Structure 1
């Protein structure tokens, strides 16, 4: 019996948690990672070298690799303030950027690094060109650039992407569409709705593939609302935004955390983008998706509220086994 094929789409700090647990299962994994990040180290490197930003790819690479902890510490080491041009850059970003320059693209760099670090599965940037994220707000105002979106006070109506350095329509990286079409399950998130998940889904080829694939499409809903993106959102609001951007109700299953985050727990200084826990609207969810899976997916760590990767993956594996029979 062939292994189930699971493709995880997103970016940020959310999907590495799922991928790290998923790589211990008997499945074929593909990660499709956003390339619209224009802040911090990734933003600097993409601006200077006109390459797809390496930061989210770096975190996914670490999550899917069996590299020893010491190697991981080296790869994730961030140069300190005062280190001149290197300040704030993780060593891994510089390695990815260097190999991308040597091999002609970040896509090629990731294929080499997946072998070098014994990665379980495949890692593809969503596009082989850096993309610019545009957010159009309910009042008609448009903000350009992912790192600028949270600074505007208002509710986002929709987002779209453009190629950063040419006028062509954004396209998916090679093999991305095939991965989606041949999957048994597509996992969206967890991660920032407008800045980690949707920048992938609004690439026309990826959007079309999601509409046509026979795969189970599962969405791992965020635990907390996010400043500048999802204030006052319920879990059903998150799903409604995804479906609206895709044009039809694509989400088959929604995974929702029902464990309460302790009121005094959140470290607002460290995780200032998080506001309050996402409220539940189960009636709304049942109208938007075929299945709602609610459980304790909460993992409290370092002052933040994260998904417990093993608990989420246990539910995903139950779904994919049914689909794969």
Structure 2
């Protein structure tokens, strides 16, 4: 999504990123540096927005480079360590992200949804022998990888403050985009933090939901496109959607999805936005679809 937006030369991009990652390098850093905002997803967003010149590409590759070997640094991306170091030096994760963005020549701003680390908590059915039993699963990695069907998801601490800069960016936006991404652990969390949900509900921006190309094992396995909208509405019933964007080939029953979007007051846009033969979005094609949405505004 950020790669697609960066292809549009007349947009001012702000990426608001979840801070509940507890796996890999981010998980290790959360355990070793208490209170630190997990940097992994923030790093990925910064790298996606790096300037398309030699300097930006060098820094993006460096940010994404993982240390090899057998020591304590093994597996850590350079960017994760740099973001943690900048946060400690500057005393503010937002200032750290802005400084890192300047280093990469980022074509936009990257912000955390909250300046405190969060934890994903989900109620999952089908984990035990009796499919009616529901077990509470904690942690983003555990939720994404536990067999069964996610019934509901929440973030803790439930009263965590929204990042003020993120709320301000949403209030000033012309277009707000949710998705694509892991539905329960990356997309829905934006609507589970009270301050962020309020900002998304009050903004005068056009609200666009971009659906995934396929169900995700461990989170939305067996879900139809319209079930993704059902889950979103169940978790945030007062959040209004204006447009739903989906890949033409990923929607088996477009009439049903159009009706589901219409029930929420939204229109459905179908376009070829996937890389042919591959399960990922194509940035240039996605950029063209986004341009059509922007032109309607």
Fold shared by both chains (TM-score > 0.5): yes
If asked which structure has higher relative contact order (CA below 8 Å, sep 6+), I would say 1
Q: CA RMSD in A?
A: 1.9
Give, in whole Å, the separation in 1 of the partners of 2:142 and 2:92: 26
Aligned with 2:39 (options 46, 54, 59) = 54
Match of 2:194 in 1: 204
Gap runs ≥5 in structure 2:
126-132
Aligned with 1:115 (options 99, 102, 111) = 102
Asked if 1:191 corresponds to 2:174, the answer is no
Aligned with 2:23 (options 35, 39, 42) = 39
Q: Secondary structure at the match of 1:197?
A: helix
Gap runs ≥5 in structure 1:
1-17, 260-276
Aligned with 1:312 (options 261, 286, 291) = 286
Change (3 A) 1:154 1:65: same
Give, in whole Å, the separation in 2 of the partners of 1:209 and 1:71: 33
Match of 1:218 in 2: 208
Aligned with 2:2 (options 15, 19, 26) = 19
Contact 1:180/1:186, CA 8 A, preserved across alignment: yes
Asked if 1:285 corresponds to 2:261, the answer is yes
Give, in whole Å, the separation in 1 of the partners of 2:279 and 2:200: 29
TM-score when normalising by structure 2: 0.89
> 1:1-325 maps to which residues of 2 (within 5 A)?
18-25=1-8, 26-50=10-34, 51-66=36-51, 67-80=55-68, 82-138=69-125, 139-163=133-157, 169-248=159-238, 250-259=240-249, 279-280=252-253, 281-282=256-257, 283-300=259-276, 304-323=278-297
Contact 1:236/1:288, CA 8 A, preserved across alignment: no
Instruction: After TM superposition, give the deviation of residue 190 of structure 1 in Å.
Output: 0.9
Q: Secondary structure at the match of 1:35?
A: coil
Aligned residues: 282
Give, in whole Å, the separation in 2 of the partners of 1:74 and 1:28: 25
Deviation sequence 1:79-103 (CA, Å, 0-9, x none): 22x4221111111111111111111
More strand by share: 1
